[in-house]
Structure 1
Amino acid sequence: MFKEQAPPSFPTATAVTDDRQRTSLRLLRRTPLVGSFSDADLLALEIHTQMLQRWPGDLVHGHGDDADYLFILATGAVKISRPSRRGQDVVFDIFGPPAVFGAVSGSRGTGYPDTATALTHSQLLAIPAAAFRAMLETRADLALGVLDELAHRHERAQQHIRRLSSEEAGVRIAARLLELADTFGEPREGCIDLPIPLTRADLAALTGVTPETASRVMSRLRADHIVDSGRCWTTILDRRRLAAAAGH
């Protein structure tokens, strides 16, 4: 006689929704922008959020598209680019978690000033700009958080401009590699792997040099056994010497 087996069970729609909500709330709690929110506040915000998955090369938003969403990067990496006068997209930043980008200010009727593209498999929360704007109008702490975020970006942009105007190419590239290592680095046997596909063109755009100059600097860093690199991969072999090369 065969023993009767219970029928297979499948997750219900309610279970899937609850799991998604728990995940969204967990990601929101890790976001400094809403760090002052209570659990009830986060739950009220989570109602409006959508969870998105993007794979390498997938667009998060395009330059000039209606700025309808604020995005919170939960996992992965997103590159931010803008079109040059020649019509080519030039990378000027790479974001890691818990970056906030998109319609940060909640402005009406504006387009995204840049293009955001997933560099790696990325998980994001999307919050409608209208819902975020409504919260800005009633939450002074959220408005202050946005001001802090914008001030941080302004200071970072100013530092980048100062670096471009006063430091040689080798220092700029070493400094940017150091920033990327601190944001994305994965320690491995005394080294630090950068799990993002960083091309010579991207590195050149991030540091304001030509791809040829970026290649020469990287060749020198490889010869000095400070970094190792190949097609779209980079490993920091000696962080201390890289920091020295960056003037730190």
Structure 2
Amino acid sequence: MSDKRETPLTSLSLEGHHCTVDLRLAKLGMVPFFQDLSEEQLRKVNKKFTANHYSKGETIYRQGDSATMLRVVVAGNVKLAAHTLEGESVLLDMLQPGDFFGNPMAGSKDIYDETAENQTSTCILSIRISDFKEVMSRYPSVAMSVLDIMADRLNESRQRIQHLTTLPVKKRLAHILVTLGNKFGEKHSRGLLIQLPLSRKDLANMAGTSAETTSRIMSQFQEDGLITSGRQWVAINDKPKLLHISVKD
């Protein structure tokens, strides 16, 4: 595994960044449950959101806090992690612009099941759950879409649990790399670059294994020409082979 400290990742700086109305509408329009709204309807919904800027590493909310807000990423990346009773951190997801987080169906006594932390500098749109429920009442298509999305997320959670409990670590890591490549990958001279700061600890937490095991398998992937990697970055060189590893018996 490369020990070079330089990174090919695009550096994100939000200094002087403004969440313009056009940008807000563009990112809100990417959220699945808003995609059937007209521009006029989306503009009305946008007025219920507030914009906030966060620094890299800043926590947006912690696991166990009251679940009062629904949020949408406008710029930057956010990671969601849950903490086990043993104090271990399990990385649940990495979010990019257009992704939402928080439980849109949360009740007044519900809490967040995860901690949301900024992977980079970010601009986040936020709406109170009570206000979002008014949006669902006003636009039935939003409510129906939310129900479908929450059902899909439940199935994804079940699949993730199955992966963590039944698949060998090598398959888990191959699956994670393919998934991240599909979501964050950008064509680059080094390969399909996962445009996201990604440490071995992050990958280990996603795979439910140790950083040492992750480093060993990632080193083998690199020796086999499947990936190129450095300090907190990974580029995929052979996605079909990684996909084959992730699904083969």
TM-score (norm 2): 0.85
d(CA) in 1 for partners of 2:124, 2:99: 10
Q: What letter matches 1:83 in structure 2? A: H
User: Counterparts of 2:168 and 2:121 in 1: how far apart (Å)?
Assistant: 34
Q: Which runs of 5+ in 1 are unaligned?
A: 1-16
Deviation at 1:138, TM superposition (A): 3.5
**Amino acid in structure 1 at the alignment position of 2:182:** D
**Equivalent residue, structure 2, for 1:62:** 62
- Which amino acid is the alignment partner of residue 153 of structure 2? R
Let me know the Cα RMSD of the aligned residues.
2.1
Larger radius of gyration: 1
Identity %: 27
Compute the displacement of 1:165 (Å): 2.9
Trace 1:198-213 onto structure 2 (pairs within 5 A): 198-213=198-213
Distance 1:20 1:241 in 2: 42
The one-letter amino acid of 1:177's match is: L
1:194 is matched with 194
- SS in structure 2 of the partner of residue 242 of structure 1: helix
> What's the counterpart of residue 165 of structure 1?
165
Superposed displacement of residue 126, structure 1: 1.0
Q: Relative contact order, CA 8 A, sep 6+: which one is greater?
A: 2
Residue 57 of structure 1 and its aligned partner are, at CA, apart by 0.7
Gaps of 5+ in 2: 1-17
Paired letter, 1:214: T
Alpha-carbon distance, 1:116 to partner: 0.5
- Separation in structure 2 between the aligned mates of residue 75 and residue 183 of structure 1, nearest angstrom: 15
Residues in 2 aligned to 1:113 and 1:167: alpha-carbon distance in whole angstroms = 24
Match of 1:94 in 2: 94
CA contact (8 A) 2:191 2:228 kept: no
Q: Give runs of aligned pairs for residues 72-151 of structure 1, distance below 5 A.
A: 72-151=72-151
4+ runs of 1 displaced by more than 4 Å? none
> Hey, what's the Cα distance between the residues in 1 that align with 2:20 and 2:121?
18
Equivalent residue number for residue 5 of structure 2? none
Alignment partners' CA distance in 2, 1:55 and 1:152: 31
Residues in 2 aligned to 1:84 and 1:74: alpha-carbon distance in whole angstroms: 29
1:107-141 Cα shifts (integer Å, max 9, x gaps): 22322221111112333211121210122233321
Write the letter of the residue equivalent to 2:30. Answer: R
Helix, strand or coil at the partner of 1:246? helix
Superposition pairs of residues 229-244 of structure 1, within 5 angstroms:
229-244=229-244
Distance 2:27 2:98 in 1: 9
Distance of aligned partners of 1:103 and 1:92 in 2 relative to their CA distance in 1, 3 Å threshold: closer
Between 28-37 and 94-103, report the one with greater CA deviation: 94-103
Kept in 2, the 8 Å contact 1:107–1:133? The answer is no
Equivalenced residues, count: 232
SS in 2 for 1:30: coil
Structure 2 CA distance for partners of 1:216 and 1:190, relative to 1, 3 Å? closer
Q: Helix, strand or coil for the counterpart of 1:192?
A: strand
